[in-house]
Chain A
Amino acid sequence: MAKINLNMITQRSIEEGAAMEQGKTNPNYFIACTVCEMNPEDMKKAGIWKNTNVKVTSECGSVIVKAIEPTQYCPPGLAHIRQGVWANQVVPPRTQSTGTPQYSGFPVTIEPAPSERLKTALELVQGAVGLWNGGQ
């Protein structure tokens, strides 16, 4: 299956900020942060239909998010996941000895995953530390 290597940045957006202040388990936070913005040209190269799920893999993990056309123009070669739980599944914790992880500018591979399911914030974080009980 087609894949594409892109440069990933994870930064703030007002949708994310507004939803976060309603609570991180709020559905709006899920909608705001489970998206990966990428240029339509790049989507075409990787055989990704817009608004379908993709698998983003970095050097330290992978996450399922929904590929969308950029809400703020993204040039080809660059991808953007809004900061938050989903972005931080793939952010490398290396800090160049400054304490600040590589939130922006790390290589990722993006491939179509239309049949994969988006996980909730709780499922990802609790799942990562072995506390996820299936949402009961």
Chain B
Amino acid sequence: MPKLIKGVGCPYCGSSCDDIEVLVSDDETKILEVHNACIIGTNLFHHANDPTRPRLPRKRQPDGSMKEIPYNEAIDFMAKTMLAAKKPLIYGFGSTNCEGMSAVARIAEKSGAVLDNCATICHGPSFLAIFDNGYPSCTLGEAKNRADVVVFWGCNPMHAHPRHTSRYSIFPRGYFTPKGQMQRTVLSIDPRETDTAKLADVHLMLDQGHDYELFDAFRTVLKGFDIPDFVAGIPKETIKKSVEIMKNAKFCMIFFGMGCTHTDGRNHNIDAAISLTRDLNDHTKCSIMAMRGHYNIAGPGQVWAWQFGFPYCIDLSKGTHAHMNPGETSSVDLAMRDEVDCFVNVGADAGAHFPIQAVQHLKKHPFITIDPNFNMASEISDLHIPVRIAGVDEPGVVYRMDNVPIQFRSVIKGLPGVPSDEELFNMVYERMCELTKTEPIWLAAKEDRRYPESEAVI
């Protein structure tokens, strides 16, 4: 009898939907059906069935081909490579659980690495603005229950977070929003008429890259001053009308995304958005939230801030203290300046999602990929180590985009012999300690965290 597992978390986007139902085969090795998830989540779960999923590490041979090797050989290679490197870079963690992120920190410290996560090419500028200006945010539950004006600035949840609008922001009926969409006014600020903009009551189609000016115009109008007839291509009247809508809200919720952080201005755009939120709180209640891309990309920010004091771009190469300075210790900048001599890509795909010049620079040195599937990074790697898929065959804690931790469960049994990220990093750490003749230090919050489910460990 196939089993229906309820309350499953979806390991794709920052909405981290936790109401997925998955029908699995009798022996818990195959996913048969996925209910409630969007098309991306459905594809993700079904992709775990792929019979060609790698089961053994693969190492690049001198002739350029890849050859399967046993795990202990791969662990030995990774430990030796990282110890030999002067300044390795460990990047990724968009798609893994917090246990893995915590475990990798030991390796990073041991090898004097730079520890970075996908936020560096995504919401990194948001972090910078948050350091400067604070983060008057709330949870998605509050947005659902209270927000009657929702602003999507430079984000397109209909494409990037497909169930965000139906679970949290536009359609759901909440405690103070019992009429759902009927009660909500939606504003969209985007240079294209995206599918989210089509849902909006007011769409401000600004000139691309002029977000800062428009934020400033909003603030100027809010403070009662006059603005030019057109700002960022938007007529004065439209801006005034939009500000009026936001001002008269009972609870205004601003979501911002890559449209602000990838374009000119970067952190200054977010800085202005946060200031606008603060200004609006003179009139009504207003809150702001970053549309984080992956289901647990808020995780490394939380875990590493707790371990090192910084959420991303953490340079541990000094050996005495952590140092963070985006622009200097950020992955793409380090790569472009050739400052790193070993690259470890974990649960992300730098091969596909870094500008190609950065990939070319990184490939000059040993390149290791740790990922459950084949991807662009794994196909140019010197070593590819497969692991279990967090949220599919490996449980774990994840942080949703509003920094709410959720315990994800596994729905199928992991491939035999394939470790989880955490188990793999612990084994690499142990090997590093053996090689350097030092005692491993296991300062874990829980005693049993070293090998949580040991039967799958080789």
Name A's B-contacting residues (CB within 8 A).
7, 9-14, 17-19, 21-25, 60-61, 70, 72-75, 78, 80, 83-85, 88-89, 91-93, 95-105, 121-122, 124-126, 128-129, 131, 133
Contacts and interface: CB of A to CB of B under 8 A. Distances in A.
A89 B358 CA distance: 10
B380 A105 contact: no
Chain B's interface size range is 35 or more
B121 interface: yes
A21 B44 contact: yes
B262 A23 contact: no
Contacts of B356: 61, 88-89, 91, 124-125, 128
A128 B353 CA distance: 14
Given A70-B192, A72-B194, A23 B50 contact: yes
A129 B263 contact: no
Nearest to B128: A98
B195 A72 contact: yes
B122 A100 contact: yes
A73 B162 CA distance: 19
Interface in B236-284: 258-259, 261-264, 266-267
Contacts of A129: 359-360, 363, 380
A97 B192 contact: no
Contacts of B333: 95, 97, 99
B55 to A, nearest CB: 16
Contacts of B158: 14
B327 interface: yes
A100 B121 contact: yes
A46 B159 CA distance: 29
B160 A99 contact: no
Given A98-B327, A131-B64, A125 B351 contact: yes
Contacts of B380: 125-126, 129, 131
Given A91-B355, A92-B355, A105 B39 contact: no
A132 to B, nearest CB: 9
A103 B121 CA distance: 9
Contact of A95 (B12, B197, B332, B359): B332
Contact of A25 (B12, B258, B331, B374): B374
Contacts, number: 185
B435 interface: no
Contacts of B379: 122, 125-126, 131
Contacts of A101: 121, 262, 332, 354-355, 358
Interface string B180-212: 000000000001111101000000010011000
A98 B125 contact: yes
A97 B327 CA distance: 4
Given A93-B332, A93-B336, A103-B262, A80 B373 contact: no
A47 to B, nearest CB: 24
Contacts of B301: none
B352 A24 contact: yes
Interface in B48-92: 50, 64
B260 to A, nearest CB: 9
B376 interface: yes
A131 B336 CA distance: 20
Contacts of A80: 192
Which of B38, B197, B331, B355 has its CB near the most chain A CB atoms (within 10 A)?
B355
Given A25-B374, A83-B353, A88-B356, A99 B40 contact: no
Contact of A93 (B44, B124, B358, B375): B358
B39 A14 contact: yes
Contacts of A122: 376, 379
Nearest to B160: A12
B64 A75 contact: no
B208 A104 contact: yes
A100 B191 contact: no
Given A18-B43, A104-B263, A105-B263, A72 B193 contact: yes
Contacts of B128: 98
A101 B326 CA distance: 12
A25 B195 CA distance: 27
Given A93-B332, A93-B357, A98-B266, A133 B64 contact: yes
A102 B262 contact: yes
Nearest to B335: A93
Question: 10 shortest A-B CB distances, which residue pairs?
Answer: A99-B330, A97-B327, A73-B193, A103-B262, A21-B43, A93-B355, A105-B209, A99-B326, A104-B262, A129-B363
Nearest to A14: B159
Contact of B208 (A23, A60, A105): A105
Contacts of B353: 83-84, 88
Given A17-B12, A96-B266, A104-B262, 16 more contacts: A11-B259, A21-B43, A75-B192, A78-B208, A93-B357, A93-B358, A98-B128, A99-B330, A99-B332, A101-B332, A103-B263, A122-B376, A125-B359, A125-B379, A129-B380, A131-B379
